[in-house]
Amino acid sequence: MSHPSPVDGVPSGRTLVMGVVNVTPDSFSDGGSWLEPDAAVEHGLRLADQGADLVDVGGESTRPGAGRVTPEEERRRVLPVVRALAEAGVVVSVDTTRAAVAAEAVSAGARVVNDVSGGLADPAMAGVVADADVGFVAMHWRGPSDVMDGLARYTDVVADVRRELTARVGALTDAGVDPHRVVLDPGLGFAKPGSDNWPLLAHLDALTGLGHPVLVGASRKRFLGHLLAGPDGTPAPPEARDAATAAVTALAAAAGAWCVRVHEVRASADAVRVAAAWTAASTGAPLGGHEQGGPGERPS
């Protein structure tokens, strides 16, 4: 993690935690819970209190098979929430594939644009990000949610994702995006059946080696539900996947991820601190700030 931070105002020296606020009726794990702006803002503030370094606000579900919402509806859902959280001092990311929504969210205070299409869904996105000079999460994507399950064919999933993300970085920087603002994301679960997600995690170095910070979004995803299936093969439901999510957080942090995107923040906030202490001890580096025990602290 030697690159400069792509986002202003976030800590350095350990993996960051991005808390998720889906202002949608139908996201797979928290759909409908934060559809009212006040509830969404309150939830975002709670996630920040629990240790989220950034809060990601999205107004369009990307669950497999989901259709689009209108741009007007997406604006109506996200902009008041972005504005209120930013005014409260939270570092806000906007989860959108629409350039116009991204531009308005940045005006409302968002410091990161998180685009699950990596700029492919809207040709105007790269220009907006270049002008705004904010962080940009470019996720690996092969097509919209209603068709993505049919686009999940890979020769070698790690090499293919690496190559397709490299092409995205080229297109974004050609369009004027500052390369140090670009974060790469393997897009777990997006046009990837369960078995394709594990090699991407196990070979995270194939992405970190591209010289950009890497974000991992494993939280509550289907491949974890399948891993934790009961004896009859029924996948564990989304709300029973948080401990596995925190385990992925610890391993992703150890593998050099810049950030993890999670629904349940507390356990991942602890996990990234454990990983930082572990890495510091293995390299002989001093522990930073709060992680250092105070003079009177008992060794228990």
Q: Determine if 95 is a binding residue for ligand PMM (CB under 6 A).
A: yes
261 included as an active-site residue = yes
83 included as an active-site residue = no
Q: For residues 81 and 279, which CB has a smaller minimum distance to ligand PMM in the complex?
A: 81
Long-range own/partner contacts, residues 41-46 (CB < 8 A, 24 or more apart): 41/80, 41/81, 41/84, 41/85, 41/88, 44/19, 44/81, 44/85, 44/90, 44/92, 45/85, 45/88, 45/90
CB of 217 to ligand PMM, least distance (A): 2
Q: Determine if 197 is a binding residue for ligand PMM (CB under 6 A).
A: no
**Phi, psi angle pair for 24, to nearest 5°:** -140, 155
Q: Which of 83, 181, 241, 261 is catalytic?
A: 261
Q: Determine if 260 is a binding residue for ligand PMM (CB under 6 A).
A: no
Distance CA 95, CA 137 (A): 9
Distance CA 119, CA 135 (A): 13
DSSP 39: H
Q: For residues 63 and 266, which CB has a smaller minimum distance to ligand PMM in the complex?
A: 63
CB of 184 to ligand PMM, least distance (A): 10
Q: Determine if 215 is a binding residue for ligand PMM (CB under 6 A).
A: yes
CB of 62 to ligand PMM, least distance (A): 5
Instruction: Enumerate the active-site residues.
Output: 221, 261
Where on the chain is the footprint of ligand PMM (CB under 6 A)? 20, 22, 27-29, 61-63, 95, 114, 116, 137, 139, 185, 187-188, 215, 217, 261
